[in-house]
Amino acid sequence: MFEAILLTVITASTPLVLAALGELVTERSGVLNLGVEGMMIIGAACAFVAAQLTGSPYIGILAGIFGGGVFSLLFGFLTLTLVANQVATGLALTILGLGLSGQIGEAFVGQPGIKLQPIVFPFLSDIPFFGRVLFRQDLIFYVSIALVVGINWFLFRSRTGLKLRAIGDSHASAHALGINVIRTRYLAVMFGGACAGLAGAQLSLVYTPQWVENMSAGRGWIALALVVFASWRPWRILAGGYLFGAVGIGQLHAQIVAQNLGIVIPSQFLSALPYAATIVVLIIISHNRRTTLINTPAALGKPFVPDR
Amino acid sequence: MTLSEGPAAVPLLSVRGLTKLFGSFAACNAIDLDIGSGEIHALLGENGAGKSTLVKMLFGVLQPSAGQILWQGAPVTIASPGEARHLGIGMVFQHFSLFEALTVAENIALSLDPKISLARISDEAASLSKAYGLPLDPQAHVADLSVGERQRIEIVRALLQNPKLIILDEPTSVLTPQEADRLFETLFKLKAEGRSVLYISHRLEEVRRICDRATVLRHGKVTGACDPKQETPASLARMMVGSDVAEVHRDNAAALGDICVEVSNLSVPARTPFAVSLKKITMKVRAGEVLAIAGVAGNGQGELFDALSGEYPVAEDEAIRIRGKAVGRTGINGRRLLGAGFVPEERHGHAAVSAMALSDNLLLARSQSDKKAFLSGGAFSVIRFDAIRSATRRICEAMDVRKSGEDPQAGSLSGGNLQKFIVGRELDRQPSVLVVNQPTWGVDAGAASRIRQALIDLAKSGSAVVVISQDLDEIFEVATNIAVISEGCLSEPHPAGTLTLERIGLLMGGVHESHSVPEAANAH
């Protein structure tokens, strides 16, 4: 029973972790892309359609990454090249993504999907409990863990990651040092889009292998909250993602238990828990402002126009 | 190492006819400049004379519209700061281009060859900072460092690239006199190694003391090239300003009147991690007195201003009295109604809304204190535009505010003119108490002397004036009494005539007379 619950928690948490990791990199470069939900659903639609057309879920994954990445380019062009307001553009991206994905997937509604099969590690998967939980997972899960390690190394150990953080702290100073602010931000935005697209692919190829309109169901917003919750740190994204995922799954089980006991808990209350938790965390970290200032990208959401 | 090739050799850097146009406005107009090897060369000029634009072109941040840059005799195009560094030009900016969220070593690493490991950079920075007498901890976060320490990072960062020319943009504007002395020693060391320094400043004494040659700019043009040691401050100032600066005139101290501002045992905890807490501040300002509060930036000046103005009221109502009334918990408008006026430090975004017209800015400041004059219709508070416009005109005339158009946006005025307006906005009310923070920061000499004169005149007419400033020249010009703020503590006031620059410098460095005077105590 516990193992089964844990497996569903992992499946529910992986898209949150992936999308939040992408947004973390974007925000560390100083760009606030509120279009995660839109990029995610575009990724889900592209992945599902490509998998249906080719019969390969792996081509579906690539299509999801590609779809999310290209869609984020639209955001990049509007906010970085045309210097449009990032908040408004991000919201528009979400609305556009929800509509556009419906269009892409329209012909595929109700078709049975192709589920991405787990990769079974020989021997390791035979370890009781841990083997089943950790070594019989699909490719996307392994990628999500590798990304946590990789992004943490990239941001805090590599020189390119240092430049990215510098841009997010003060783009004017970074520009004065000769760092290409706009190009780096484009790449960061596209990485965010690709991660959101991969998260979407997980939804339509692993979580519920079918196409349903609006199937991202607000996970993009949770991922956005998760970035703040994790105070822009990759390992905390992993922890927070699993916490939020567990809350989502626990909510279903709690409903059943409560119903059996004759108690009515409004489901909306439990759905709101991740956001409430984020607010609590925000209150806690804003008490210690020094650490917040060292972690929070100071240039977040501010447009950059180099003088000529 | 030696790079010097004797005075007859080709100059290290030559500039010929360098021009930068912003639209039709020439920020730099056909500038010629030669910097020899092993020379400390001053670039003098008022704010807006084009100094910053010129050095930005030399460092590749801006591209010239016309003209030529020659490096060791060969024409070069400096397309980016990276190319400038590659040539051997290092730059220490006036507004530090540092990243607060990163460590000292990380900040330095950003401008170096990415192949060098962070650990090696830490080691080199530590040894270099020791060699030049600029103590630094490579692992510290910049957010936790003082302004002087931040400047050291910039200098060490520039030095690590082994430059032939180092450009320093107004380096001493944020330092105590002792910190400045230490900087000068570093500069002499650099010069002895055959490196050249381009030293930008508007502090004449300093330039005369350390620079071998000087180029003076005014309105984007070179107005003089000289040996500053052969000039007097007055002759240099004439080259900078173009005419003799009106000297601030002050009568002998008049008899002081009643106590108008009384602060007793005021302690305020720090609001943010970067703020300074105020500790048991006590001061009295009498009618007719100008109390100047000196100190290096970031020692609690902003916090003291916030407490005095009521922008952030304090817990103890009795701690602050204005004209005898306890106002600690009263907000800014309540204090204005008692006849007080306040001019904060930041012109843009604090003292004035840049995107709004001057008349709107007037109303924003005085809508409560001058309700009767500017608003009508009782509870409806209808704005009387005629009254506001005529008051705006009156202020602009009184303070000689030069502007384009009848009622332009505050942001379109030059720094000096906007500052004259926001000071004039308060003076127009004839306040019996005026508190100003950095009244002439970054304004040209003409506007500065006008503002200082206005402050002295106001005191003479029987008001109490508090001037918070980092500019010691200004303080000696206007003050009746001088107190020094250091790490949130305010010293006893001293009559201006009894203090010397050295003594103030020690007080600013946190050394109070009751302590002995250790050499190292002024490092911060």
The tokens for B491 are 């010293």
- How far is C-alpha B145 from the geometric centre of its chain's CA atoms? 19
Task: Please give the torsion angle defined by the CA atoms of residues B4, B7, B10 and B14, in that order, rounded to the nearest 10 degrees.
Answer: 100
Q: What band does B294 get if pLDDT is binned at 50, 70 and 90?
A: confident
Rounded mean pLDDT of B403-428? 87
Spell out the alpha helix ranges (H) of B193-312.
204-210, 233-241, 301-309
Chain B contacts of A163, Cβ < 8 Å?
110
- Which pLDDT value is given to residue B5? 44
Q: Domain boundary residue among B241, B268, B293?
A: B241
Count of alpha carbons within 13 angstroms of residue A38, beta-carbon side = 21
Residue B380 is predicted with a pLDDT of 84
CA–CA separation, A290 and A287 (whole Å):
9
Is residue B266 domain-shared with residue B230, that is, in the same domain? Answer: no
Q: Which pLDDT does position A187 carry in this prediction?
A: 97
B192 and B122 share one domain:
yes
pLDDT band at B243 (very low <50, low <70, confident <90, very high): low
- Pairwise pLDDT comparison (A157 vs A259), residue with the higher score: A157
Mean pLDDT across the stretch A43-62? 96
Q: What is the pLDDT of residue A180?
A: 92
Q: CA-nearest residue of chain A to B95? A: A173
Which of A8-17, A177-186, A244-253, B350-359 has the least mean pLDDT? Answer: A244-253
> Is B510 a residue whose pLDDT tops 70?
no
Where is B375: in which H helix or E strand?
Answer: strand B375-376
Please state whether beta strands B433-437 and B278-286 pair in parallel, antiparallel, or not at all (unpaired). unpaired
> Chain A partners of B81 at a C-beta cutoff of 8 Å?
176-178
Q: Which of A57-61, A77-81, B131-135, B448-452 has the lowest mean pLDDT?
A: B131-135
Same-domain check for residues B356 and B217: no
For the record, the structure tokens of B210 come out as: 């350390």
Distance in angstroms (rounded) separating the CA atoms of residues B14 and B35: 6
- Is B473 in contact with B450 (CB distance < 8 Å)? no
Q: What is the mean pLDDT of residues B398-412?
A: 85
B254, part of any domain = no
**Which band of pLDDT confidence, cut at 50, 70 and 90, is reported for residue B427?**
very high
Any idea of the CA torsion for A62, A65, A71, A74, to the nearest 10 degrees? -110
State whether A170 and B99 contact (CB < 8 Å): yes
**Most confident stretch, A244-258, B94-108, B252-266, B310-324:** B310-324
Amino acid A34 reads L
Residue finishing a domain among B241, B272, B289: B241
Q: How far apart are CA A217 and CA B225, in angstroms?
A: 71
Domain assignment present for residue B253? The answer is no
Q: What is the DSSP string of B338-363?
A: TTEEEE-S-TBTTTB-TTSBHHHHHH
Confidence of residue A259 (pLDDT cuts 50, 70, 90): confident
DSSP B412: G
pLDDT score of B214 more than 80: yes
Average pLDDT over every residue of B393-405: 87
Q: What is the CATH number of the domain that holds A81?
A: 1.10.3470
Query: B312 near B306, Cβ under 8 Å?
Result: yes
The first and second tokens of residue B82, run together, are 């990276």
**Residue numbers in B near A176 (CB within 8 A):** 61, 81, 93, 97
Q: What whole-number distance in Å separates Cα of residue A123 and Cα of residue B10?
A: 75
Q: Is residue B1 part of a domain?
A: no
The answer to whether the beta carbons of residues B292 and B467 sit under 8 Å apart is yes
> Mean per-residue pLDDT for B365-388?
87
Q: What is the pLDDT of residue A88?
A: 96
Does B384 share its domain with B476? yes
How sure is the predictor about B246, in pLDDT bands with cuts at 50, 70 and 90? low
Domain total for chain A? 1
* Amino acid of residue A97: G
Q: Which of B268-272, B405-409, B464-468 has the highest mean pLDDT?
A: B464-468
Q: Do B267 and B233 share a structural domain? A: no
Domain of B115 in residue numbering reads as 13-241
- Of B473, B120, B485, the closest CA to residue B277 belongs to B485
A287 reaches B (C-beta below 8 A)? no
Strand partners, B69: B15, B76
> B450 phi and psi, to 5 degrees?
-60, -45
φ, ψ (nearest 5 deg) of residue B326: -75, 125
Least Cα distance to B200 among B165, B235, B152 occurs for B165
User: Quick one: DSSP state of residue B141?
Assistant: B
Judgement on whether residues B470 and B439 belong to the same structural domain of the protein: yes
Is residue B524 predicted with pLDDT exceeding 60?
no
A290 contact B CB<8A? yes
B434/B432 Cα distance (integer angstroms): 7
What are the b/e assignments for B201-228, b being 16+ CB within 10 Å? bbbbebbbebbbbbbbbbebbbbbebeb
Question: Is the pLDDT confidence value at B523 over 50?
Answer: no
Query: Is there a single domain that holds both residue B277 and residue B169?
Result: no
pLDDT computed for residue A231 by the predictor: 87
Does residue B239 have a pLDDT over 60? yes
Sheet holding B320-322, edge to edge: B278-286, B259-268, B320-322, B325-326
Do B219 and B278 lie in a common domain? Answer: no
- Measured from the Cβ of residue B171, the count of other Cβ atoms closer than 10 Å reads 24
pLDDT digits 0-9 by tens, A66-81: 999 999 999 999 999 9
Q: What average pLDDT does the segment A176-204 reach? A: 95
Burial B71-80 (b: 16+ CB within 10 A, else e): bbeeeeebeb
pLDDT at B291 over 70: yes
Q: Give A 149-168 residues with CB within 8 A of chain B.
A: 159-160, 162-163, 165-166
Q: pLDDT at position B381, please? A: 84
Kindly report the average pLDDT of chain B as a whole number: 84
**Is B413 inside any structural domain?**
yes
Domain tally, chain B: 2
Q: Which residues of B touch A (CB under 8 A)?
A: 60-63, 80-82, 85, 93, 96-102, 106, 109-111, 114, 141, 143-144, 272-273
- Choose the closest CB to B101 out of A165, A178, A289: A165
Q: Under an 8 A CB cutoff, do B61 and A162 touch? A: no
Per-residue pLDDT tens digits for B147-189:
778 888 888 888 888 899 999 988 876 677 777 888 898 899 9
pLDDT at B522: 41
Give pLDDT, residue B171: 82
- Contact between B27 and B50 under an 8 Å Cβ cutoff? The reply is yes
Give the residue with greater pLDDT, B376 vs A14.
Answer: A14
**Could you tell me the pLDDT band of residue A132, with boundaries at 50, 70 and 90?**
confident
Give how far Cα B247 sits from Cα of B231, B233, B244, Å: 19, 13, 8
What 3-state DSSP class applies to B320? strand
Question: Which residue intervals of B297-444 are DSSP H helices?
Answer: 301-309, 332-337, 358-366, 371-374, 385-399, 415-427
B103 DSSP assignment: B
What is the structure's pLDDT at B322? 93
Higher confidence at residue B126 or residue B524?
B126
pLDDT confidence bin for A237, thresholds 50/70/90: very high
Strand partners, B281: B266
C-alpha to C-alpha distances, B323 to B286, B310, B465, nearest whole angstrom:
10, 15, 13
> Is the model's pLDDT at A189 over the cut of 60?
yes
More confident residue, B196 or B53: B196
CA atoms within 13 A on the CB side of B383: 10
Average pLDDT score over residue span B428-449: 86
Average pLDDT score over residue span B505-513: 63
Burial of A23 (0-12, 13-18, 19+ CB in 10 A): buried
Helix-, strand-, coil-residue percentages of chain A, each rounded to 5:
75, 0, 25
Please check whether residues B157 and B81 belong to one and the same domain: yes
Query: Distance between CA atoms of A114 and A205, rounded to whole angstroms?
Result: 6
What distance in Å separates the CA atoms of residue B64 and residue B56, rounded to the nearest whole number? Answer: 9
Closest chain B C-alpha to A241 CA, distance in angstroms? 25
B314 shares its domain with B210: no
Q: Residue A24: CB partners within 8 Å, gap ≥ 6?
A: A151, A227, A230, A232, A234, A237
Residue B153 is assigned to a structural domain of this protein: yes
Question: Within this chain, do residues B236 and B271 fall inside the same structural domain, yes or no?
Answer: no
Confidence of residue B217 (pLDDT cuts 50, 70, 90): confident
More confident residue, B209 or B236: B209
| In chain A, residues 216-255 whose CB comes closer than 8 Å to chain B | none
Look at residue B48 in the predicted model and tell me its pLDDT.
66
Domain membership flag for residue A21 = yes
Asked whether the beta carbons of residue B82 and residue A178 sit closer than 8 angstroms, the reply is yes
pLDDT band at B247 (very low <50, low <70, confident <90, very high): low
Distance from CA of A293 to the nearest CA of B (A): 7
On the question of pLDDT at A85 being above 90, the answer is yes
Which of A153-167, B23-37, B193-207 is most confident?
A153-167
Establish if A192 belongs to a structural domain: yes
| Range of weakest confidence among A279-283, B118-122, B251-255 | B251-255
Q: Which of B63, B80, B92, B110 to mutate to test the interface with A (most CBs of A within 10 A)?
A: B110
Residue B515 has pLDDT above 50, yes or no: no
- Tell me, what amino acid is at A169? D
The predicted pLDDT at position B14 comes to: 92
pLDDT at B241: 65
Q: Kindly state whether residue A246 falls inside one of the protein's structural domains.
A: yes
CB contact under 8 A, A294 and B61: no
Residues in chain A: 308
Are B162 and B94 members of one domain?
A: yes
Which sign does the torsion angle of CA B512, B515, B517, B520 carry? negative
Higher pLDDT, B414 or B433: B433
In terms of pLDDT, which residue wins out, A27 or B142?
A: A27
Question: Which pLDDT band, with edges at 50, 70 and 90, does A138 fall under?
Answer: very high
pLDDT tens track for A284-305: 777 776 777 778 898 999 999 8
Residue A153 predicted with pLDDT over 90: yes
Helices (H), ranges, B163-219: 177-192, 204-210
Is B247 inside a domain boundary?
no
* Token reading at A47: 């992945």
In a domain, A238, yes or no: yes
Residue A183's domain comprises 2-295
Partner-chain contact A294 B114, CB within 8 Å: no
Statement: residue A60 has pLDDT above 90: yes
Question: Is residue A240 situated within a structural domain?
Answer: yes
CATH number, domain at B71? 3.40.50.300
Letter for the amino acid at B256? L
Give the separation between CA B168 and CA B170, rounded to whole angstroms: 6
Whether B151 is covered by a domain: the verdict is yes
Q: Domain for residue B8, yes or no?
A: no
